[in-house]
Structure 1
Amino acid sequence: MFLIEFQFTKFSKFLYKILNITLQNSQSFTTKFSKFLYI
């Protein structure tokens, strides 16, 4: 039971990291895109 919980925690941290990176990338993409639109 403990092992499963540990694996789940690792997995959720991993997912959280991916989500953060994706959010950061999409934010930078949005700013780039808006700058492109303003030009």
Structure 2
Amino acid sequence: MPPITITGGSRSLENGALSVATDASVVPCALIFGAAAILQFF
């Protein structure tokens, strides 16, 4: 999914780092919640 840019070009590097950090934290959280949701059905 494309990174969400909050401000213009001067902070694009910062936003890129933020989007990488959020992606890195969102993926494990999604996996954990997905596993928890799957385990609830068994």
TM-score (norm 1): 0.66
Moved over 4 A (4+): none
Query: Highest Rg: 1 or 2?
Result: 1
Partner residue of 1:22? 29
Identity %: 3
Contiguous gaps of at least 5 residues in structure 1: none
The 2-side partners of 1:31 and 1:5 are apart by 37
**How many angstroms does 1:21 deviate by?**
1.1
Contiguous gaps of at least 5 residues in structure 2: 1-9
Corresponding position: 1:5 with 2:7? no
Matched residue pairs, number?
33
Kindly indicate which of the two structures has a greater share of residues assigned to helix.
1
